[in-house]
Amino acid sequence: MVEDMMQSITTQDQINILLVDDKESNLISLEALLYDNNLNFLNARSGEEALRIALNEDLALILLDVQMPNMDGFEVASYLKSIPKTKYTPIIFVTAISNTHADMIQGYSEGGIDYLFKPLNPELTRAKVHSFIQIYLQQRELKQKNITLESFGQFVNNSADIMLSIAGKHFIVEQANPACLEHFEKNGAPFVGTSVLEYLNKAERLSFKQALLTNENEKSFRLENFIQTNFGKKWINWTISHKNKKWYLNGKDITQTKEAALLLKKNSQKLKESNKQLEQFAYIASHDFQGPIANLRKLMEMIDVESIEQTRTQKILEKMQISIDSLDHTLKGLMEVISVRRLSTKNTNPINIQQVFEEVCASIQEHIDHANAAITLDLKEVEQINYPQVHLKSILLNLISNSIKYRDVKRALKINIRTFLSNGIPCLSISDNGLGIDLQKYKKEIFGLFKRFHTHIQGNGVGLYNVKSIIESHGGSIHVTSEVGKGTTFHIQFHS
């Protein structure tokens, strides 16, 4: 039984036990009797040597012989108890003298806490030593926990967060850290002992009580409220836990975050209104400019440039024609951008991709036939998608038209359209074997407004911009892979 008790001593560090006896044979016997892998025995053959070791080592227990020359065990114990480092180290007197009451009283008065009488009873000796070692380990653990608790207390006291505990049906404050007192204690009037509900308005008082009572079985939960403090009304974000019929609250002042979010919302609304006004202005301006430009174009057509004899005048008129055409293309592009933005995005019912594709092809059938384009459609993985039909139609129209416009006349045009799922998200790719785009040169500009990469072919540079705008407005994304002389592929991820 005692052997089992000794084996139950487990610790990462060895435990020091000081054995004091003037006879070497007694020290050897005692060490053999108490041997354990976790025990480290320090031996002293005199009172002076024992004091020297005790001052330099952390000891769990001292087994001290009473009858020693020069300085007996009682004297050694008296010195040890007068020293702060060893004042509370337990001492067991080991003696062969009679166990009279007078001797035992003297030993206890000098600081001993127990006696072992020679000849030693092995089981009793090991049992007593084991008990004191367990007490030592418990005290050491308690000391470490106290240090941790003090460190945590320092952390709590220095924290800028509001920390408090409340209890009872009236939610009375029982504990509060300095930051909490700074927020709520008024003119020296105690905050601890008052109800936290006093600092809430009537509506929030009710919701606060309901939140606490509803979530008291939860490990922890969060709550926000607008509460009166010494610094005015503040938004506090609480993390709350319930244990042993008490609520523990940790609050963070999020007033600045709330105010910033509100300001951002207001500014966002203003920006939307400004964009709407700007869009309206651009639409009106583009629309109003179309009439004068059409008139200029007709006037230029009425002028017989060849009948004008002056070469310089002919060149001026030719440049005027180029400028009018450029302005006309720009305004048409701007009108197209505005028209796309005005398309309704509310209807996101499931739509049949095959049907939208056929409508797009029908609208540009003349261009498809002229280009002798072979278009393949693979909808095995995704046949339908929740998307505004008018937007999907615009995407397909722009990308198929681009493939036709920028085809390589040296080979038959092939366009492959495929739908698929990527991590559960519907995707679409459109590939062609056209002219391709130099991405090393134009990658950052590929979806820019009024950006063109094949200037020998007529275009206004708004198609890809519109496609990207539509896709991103629904939370999707688009990217492109291309190689000059081989073709281009647009990869679209619609939305999750």
What is the CATH classification number for the domain harbouring 230? 3.30.450.20
Strands 384-386 and 350-352: what pairing? antiparallel
> Is the same domain home to 306 and 416?
no
> Is the same domain home to 89 and 211?
no
In three state form, how does the secondary structure of 401-426 look? Answer: HHHHHCCCCCCCCEEEEEEEEECCEE
* Amino acid, res. 368: I
Of all helices (H) and strands (E), which one includes residue 18? strand 15-20
The residues, ordered by sequence, that sit 6+ positions from 212 with a Cβ below 8 Å of its Cβ are 171, 240, 242, 247
Measured CA to CA, the distance from residue 323 to residue 314 in angstroms comes to 14
> Is the same domain home to 78 and 133?
yes
- Note down the domain range covering 79: 2-154
pTM of the full structure: 0.42
> Is the same domain home to 302 and 368?
no
The size of the chain, in residues, is 496
Residue that finishes a domain, picked among 120, 154, 188: 154
Measured CA to CA, the distance from residue 452 to residue 441 in angstroms comes to 12
DSSP code for 120: P
Structural domains in the chain (count) = 4
Dihedral of the alpha carbons of 181, 184, 188, 189, in degrees to the nearest 10: -120
Q: How far is CA 354 from the centre of its chain?
A: 42
C-beta atoms surrounding 147 within 10 Å:
10
> Is the same domain home to 467 and 368?
yes
pLDDT one digit per residue (tens) for the chain, 496 residues: 444 544 445 555 689 999 999 999 999 999 999 988 889 999 999 999 999 999 999 999 999 998 888 888 888 888 898 888 888 889 888 887 655 555 666 666 665 678 888 888 899 999 989 988 998 888 888 888 888 777 777 767 778 888 899 998 889 999 888 888 888 887 767 888 888 888 888 888 888 888 888 887 887 888 888 888 888 888 889 899 888 889 899 989 899 998 888 888 888 887 777 666 566 555 555 555 566 666 666 666 666 656 666 666 667 666 776 666 666 655 555 555 556 555 555 556 788 999 999 999 998 999 999 999 999 999 999 999 988 888 888 889 889 988 998 898 889 999 999 999 998 899 999 999 988 888 888 777 777 766 666 665 665 567 788 888 888 888 899 999 989 889 999 999 987 5
Residue that finishes a domain, picked among 341, 368, 386: 341
Of all helices (H) and strands (E), which one includes residue 488? strand 487-493
3-state class (DSSP) for residue 244: coil
Measured CA to CA, the distance from residue 97 to residue 31 in angstroms comes to 21
C-beta atoms surrounding 95 within 10 Å:
20
CB 48, CB 71: distance < 8 Å:
yes
> Is the same domain home to 227 and 304?
no
> Is the same domain home to 34 and 123?
yes
> Is the same domain home to 444 and 488?
yes
> Is the same domain home to 405 and 468?
yes
3-state class (DSSP) for residue 234: strand
